[in-house]
Amino acid sequence: MNKIIQKIGWPRLIISIFLFSTYIIAPFVGIPLSVALSDTFVRFGMNALLVLSLMPMIESGTGLNFGMPLGIEAGLLGALISVQLGLEGWLGFGAAIAVAIPFAIIFGYVYGYILNKVKGSEMMIATYIGFSSVAFMCIMWLILPFTRADMIWAYGGSGLRTTISIEKYWQDVLNKPFGKLAETIPVGEILFFLIFAIIVWIFFKTKSGLAMSTVGKNDKFAKATGIDIDKSRIQSVILSTVVAAIGIIVYQQSFGFIQLYLAPFNMAFPAIAAILIGGAAVNRTNIWNVIIGTFLFQGILTMTPTVMNAIIQTDMSETLRIIISNGMILYALTRKDGGTRG
């Protein structure tokens, strides 16, 4: 029993028990279990790809990607250009991704180059870069030449709105093919995530993927075997940035709005907390860490407000979110072991 608990980890076990207990309590406080599970799966579908984007940088030893806002900003640019062109449905969704990827590659390359210059301080510098990119893009959203009426401020204002609706463009395109089933479970989003998860899993079985993981596990051994460490690290950052860009577009098509300005500021922290809850360490992770962690974290964020409000008449969701996010990050930074690829 002790070995099982040690393998699972006390934090993950406690969080799992807490989440399971909220599902048990839910029907007794007027929340149908089917609705509770449906809401959890919806949030899972929205966020899973963003959590997956952390995996390449963790595996390469480049650290937890606190610079995720760079990828998110690339995704926002792709989404905005798609809307500016008036593209709808699958064409609009595909165009948003196609436009976002080149931006993400450029951002990722510059980001990776900087991280290679500050080895040992990656997470601190990544946080600074992530926050700085959001501040810089706040200016760009005011001066970029977008002109569509439903994107810019009304009554002669300049710049883009804080939130831009994509309802008439490509909202929920991933789930629409599945009809009524998608009203309960976001089948399209989950399948889309699984496709990317399989691609990432296969990548880490290739020569480049194995080299990337070797750099993360033992850079001296990697260097001795002829692996270009800096190149592998930059590749991991680019891959992480590209997946994050696609992830935010998936998030937007589910949410129904493009959120600009300060919205990307703290999006990295929930994703990082989720993968750490799933069992990842700072230089080792796997697909199961992404799946389990996203479900646990998003489940708690979904269930806590309604259940706790019904029981004690006080909204504790934000408090719990802060405790879980920061607690799991601190927990992971003190770990010496973690998951393996799988």
The pLDDT tens digits of the residues spanning 261-288 come to 999 988 888 898 889 888 887 778 899 9
Q: Quote the CA–CA distance of 257 and 309 in Å, as a whole number.
A: 27
Q: Sign of torsion, CA 216 222 228 230?
A: positive
Contact 324, 300 (CB under 8 A): yes
Residue 297's pLDDT band (cuts 50, 70, 90): confident
Pick from 62, 12, 6: nearest CA to 328: 12
Residue 336's pLDDT band (cuts 50, 70, 90): very low
Contact 315, 309 (CB under 8 A): yes
Mean pLDDT along residues 231-255: 95
Residue 5's pLDDT band (cuts 50, 70, 90): low
CATH class entry, domain 9-333: mainly alpha
Residue 159's pLDDT band (cuts 50, 70, 90): confident
Sequence-ordered list of residues with C-beta below 8 angstroms from that of 66, at least 6 positions apart, any chain: 123, 126, 127, 130, 268, 272
Q: Which two tokens stand for residue 128?
A: 């600074």
Res. 247: pLDDT tops 70: yes
At 29 the pLDDT is 75
Res. 314: pLDDT tops 90: no
Mean pLDDT along residues 243-272: 92
Q: Residue ranges per domain, the chain?
A: 9-333
> Tens digits of per-residue pLDDT, 91-146?
999 999 999 999 999 999 999 999 999 888 888 888 899 999 999 999 999 999 89
> Tens digits of per-residue pLDDT, 56-82?
999 998 888 889 999 999 999 999 999
Average of per-residue pLDDT values in the chain:
86
Res. 19: pLDDT tops 60: yes
Quickly count: other Cβ atoms within 10 Å of residue 270's Cβ. Answer: 18
Helices 287-312, 10-25: inter-axial angle, 10-degree rounding: 50
AA letter at 69? P
The most confident of 8-22, 150-164, 284-298, 324-338, by mean pLDDT: 284-298
